[in-house]
Amino acid sequence: MATVLVVEDDPFVRSALIRHLTESGHAVRSVGTALEALREVAQVGCDLVILDLGLPDLDGSEALKMIRGLTNVPVIISTARDDEAEIVRLLNDGADDYLVKPFSVEHLTARMTAVLRRFGSGTAPVAQVLRVGGLAIDAQRREAVLDDRPLDLTRREFDLLAFLAARPGVVVPRKEILAEVWRQTYGGDQTIDVHLSWLRRKLGETASKPRYLHTVRGVGVRLEAPAAGLDGGEPT
């Protein structure tokens, strides 16, 4: 069972969520504003956040971005906004799943279980440090180093790099990248391309002169150590 932070300003919805989650065996804390949520995440921590978008002090989408600046804790969005473009934007901004109100407690439980499972609940820990050529990626510390130089990566950039580094030399299909890194089952090619472009700059390479990241047209992406003596130069 998990420690869950419910961020919801409607007292009736919040009470119902607290009651259901508590009856399911979870430890539950709840707040009604984005500021309180950020304080809880930063000072106390939790295993999962259920985040309402209609908060009184700050829109939940902005709160999501601020939470992502503090922690990698999984976040399920609770929203009445049944708009595909908005949902895709929230997933790209760091949400791990979403539920459109009204939803059943059974639906919520199933989504929570799936998200917690993806984040390794009850599974053996992955290798702490992944190494590919001059790349060293510490999955638990969420730190990446290239040739002894720390890389300043966003959450998604790190997730993408670590996901590919765990499969060195393997061409990973774009659909698999989208499903595992972005938790989406459709669209997203442009998003993947943008993040690959940002990663390449930070790795000191370009699409036309790759060192680590190789795009296989029509198939996917492969990360592998550069050939001996290949000079990547500075980012362009």
Q: What is the pLDDT at residue 44?
A: 81
Q: What is the pLDDT at residue 52?
A: 93
The CATH number covering residue 134 comes to 1.10.10.10
Ramachandran angles phi, psi of 218, nearest 5°: 80, 0
User: What rounded mean pLDDT belongs to the chain?
Assistant: 84
Q: What is the pLDDT at residue 185?
A: 63
Q: What is the pLDDT at residue 161?
A: 92
**Same domain, yes or no, for 11 and 76?**
yes
**Same domain, yes or no, for 156 and 92?**
no
**Same domain, yes or no, for 107 and 135?**
no
Question: Confidence class of residue 126 from pLDDT cuts 50, 70 and 90?
Answer: very low
Is residue 233 pLDDT above 50, yes or no? Answer: no
Instruction: Show Cβ contacts of residue 117 under 8 Å, excluding neighbours closer than 6 positions.
Output: 123
Residue 105: name the closest of 10, 3, 15, 36 by CA.
15
Query: Per the structure, how many domains does the chain have?
Result: 2
The pLDDT tens digits of the residues spanning 4-43 come to: 999 998 888 888 888 888 888 888 999 999 999 998 888 8
Q: CA torsion 197→199→201→205, rounded to 10°?
A: -90
More confident site: 192 or 81:
192
Q: What is the pLDDT at residue 60?
A: 83
Question: Confidence class of residue 118 from pLDDT cuts 50, 70 and 90?
Answer: confident
Residue 109: domain span: 3-118
